[in-house]
Amino acid sequence: MGFLSRDSRGFALSLDLLLAIIPLTLILGFVTADMDNLMYQMEDTVFRGSMDRSAFDTLNTLLETSGEPTNWEVTGNANVTGLAIYDTKNGPQEGTLSTGKLAALSQDNVQTLVGGYNYYFKVTRIDNNQIIKSLGNNSYTSANDVVRVERVAIYTESLVVSSAKDLRRFTGTPITYTSPPNPFPTDQFYLATFDYYVLIVNQGYNSADVNINGNDVVDQHDFRGQATRFVNITKKIDPSALKDGATLQDNIITVRGNSNPGDTLDIYIIQVPKGTAPENINVDTIIPKKVRAELFVWNRGA
């Protein structure tokens, strides 16, 4: 067996090195050529993760907290905005939307939570797809990359702030009722944000008077004898009959009815977002309903 000369061994070593370097050079070339794309994908992944987090955190804050302060819808100044009904004993009622908070929710409130992204927020009744509230930019359908999050919640469209049920006459003597219906509070902010109605579920009464703070808001002229003995009556309360001070004050209610013994009457004082159509105030709308809360978030300029 022969032996390689020193020159031959040197040539073989150079050839081995060359063969090893060629694949490495090709790999480095491919990596360099694709580096811009890799960096773009990395940036896109980080950006999408931030947008996802913003969307989820925003909707969780809105639906699971009552905000800070918890009565921000009264003060008109929210450090943190939340929509959950606040119970003084049990805290925020997660997933149960406050009629007052949802009505007071502004575009800026949500934008503060979302941060530097475009957004569109809407709350829709599940049973009939009626949009209860919508805020933001609804052009998300033309955006390239949109994060959508959805939650189901409970919402009462017409909030009962005071009521008296099954008011019944057992004798021929008229009876005056008060507490119930219990007093309910209003102030300047409430009257600027909400309308108030009386809803009467009549089961036989010939007439009734509903008085708030000494003002007759429903009287015998709103009844039409036999024609309304078993008909529900809805009437808007004139804001001038309600307390409109700088702080919340109670409105006192009294009810006096005229009917045959055994007839009954239910009285509801209803609070609704200002501008709500009277035909939307009925026994059905005071029952809590399931709603769908949706939030769409996407990059500005996308």
Residues in the chain: 302
In the predicted model, what is the mean pLDDT of the chain? 85
User: How confident is the model over 30-39, as pLDDT tens digits?
Assistant: 555 555 554 4
Which amino acid belongs to residue 71?
N
**pTM for the structure as a whole:** 0.69
CA 89/CA 264 separation, integer angstroms: 34
Confidence band of 19 (pLDDT split at 50, 70, 90)? low
The maximal CA–CA distance of the chain, rounded, in angstroms, is 134
What domains appear along the chain, each with residue ranges and CATH number?
1-156+287-302 (no CATH), 159-286 (2.60.120)
CA-atom Rg of the chain in angstroms: 33
DSSP 77: -
CA 290/CA 151 separation, integer angstroms: 10
CA 93/CA 98 separation, integer angstroms: 9
User: Which helix (H) or strand (E) element contains residue 34?
Assistant: helix 6-64
Confidence band of 259 (pLDDT split at 50, 70, 90)? confident
Q: What is the DSSP string of 245-295?
A: SSS-EEEPEEEEEE--TT-EEEEEEEEEETT--GGG-STGGGS-EEEEEEE
CA 99/CA 89 separation, integer angstroms: 19
Compute the average pLDDT of residues 145-166: 93
Residue 65, both tokens: 């907290």
Report the interhelical angle of 6-64 vs 107-114 (nearest 10°): 150
Compute the average pLDDT of residues 269-297: 92
Nearest to 95 by CA among 290, 287, 271: 290
Residue 45 has pLDDT above 70, yes or no: no
Q: What is the DSSP string of 193-238?
A: HEEEEEEEEEEB-SEEEEEETTEEEE-GGG--GGGGTTS-EEEEPP
User: How confident is the model over 215-257, as pLDDT tens digits?
Assistant: 999 998 888 777 778 889 999 999 999 999 998 899 999 998 8
From first CA to last CA, the distance across the chain in angstroms is 73
Residue 271 has pLDDT above 90, yes or no: yes
